[in-house]
Amino acid sequence: MTQKELDYVKDAIEHEDNVIAILNDNINTLKEQELIKFMDKEIKVHKGIHKKLMNLLGGKANGW
């Protein structure tokens, strides 16, 4: 993986961290259960993406 690709993956991980934080902040202010359920699902999606990106970096660290 080139340095440019590595930087892109790191930026994507930071983006996912930010999205997850924003969703969590919004959940704390919501009262409507349907919206809370929706945002919980979105958090799970973004945590999955985050995990895949971290695995990609882990492979890089392991000599990919």
What would the pLDDT profile of 15-54 be if each residue is shown by its tens digit? 999 999 999 999 999 999 999 999 999 999 999 999 999 9
Residue 61: the pLDDT is 53
Around Cβ 8, how many Cβ atoms within 10 Å? 13
Q: How many domains does the chain have?
A: 1
Residue 43: the pLDDT is 98
Residue 19: the pLDDT is 98
Residue 60: the pLDDT is 61
Whether the pLDDT of residue 64 is over 50: the answer is no
Reported as a pLDDT band with limits 50, 70 and 90, residue 57 is confident
* Structural domain for 16, as ranges: 3-61
Closest CA to 56 of 19, 12, 21, 18: 12
